[in-house]
Amino acid sequence: MLSLSLASVALASLVDTVQGRSAGCGQKPSFEAGSFKNYTTSEGREYRVWLPANYDSDKVTPLILSYHGANRVIENQVELDRLSDPFFNTDHIVVYLQGLEASRPGHTVWQGAPDCDSDDIGFTTDVLDAVSDELCVNRRRIYATGKSQGGGFVGRLACDAGLSKRIAAFAPVSGAYYIKEIDKKEDCHPESVKIPCDAGRSNIPILAFHGGADTTINYNGGFRSGACLPAISSWAKQWAARDNLDQMPENTTIPNAQNGVQMSYGGGLVSLVYDGDNIGHAWPSTQPNSDNDGKDLAAFNASASIMEFFRSHRLE
pLDDT tens digits, residue range 251-298? 999 999 999 999 999 999 999 999 999 999 999 999 999 999 999 999
Residue 10 CA: distances (Å) to CA of 55, 140, 164, 291 = 20, 15, 26, 40
DSSP symbol at 23:
T
Rounded average pLDDT over 57-85: 97
**Once rounded to an integer, what is the mean pLDDT over residues 86-94?**
98
What is the reported pTM?
Answer: 0.94
Q: Identify which of 12, 204, 39, 16 has the alpha carbon closest to the alpha carbon of residue 133.
A: 39
Contact yes or no for 299/255 (Cβ under 8 A): yes
**Residue 118 Cα to chain centre, angstroms:** 19
Q: Pick left, alpha or beta for residue 82 (phi over 0 → left; psi -120 to 50 → alpha; otherwise beta).
A: left
Q: What is the distance between the alpha carbons of residues 238 and 119, in angstroms, rounded to a whole number?
A: 25
Taken in order of first residue, the domains within the chain and their CATH numbers are 25-311 (3.40.50.1820)
Classify 45 as helix, strand or coil. Answer: coil
Q: pLDDT tens-digit profile of 250-264?
A: 999 999 999 999 999
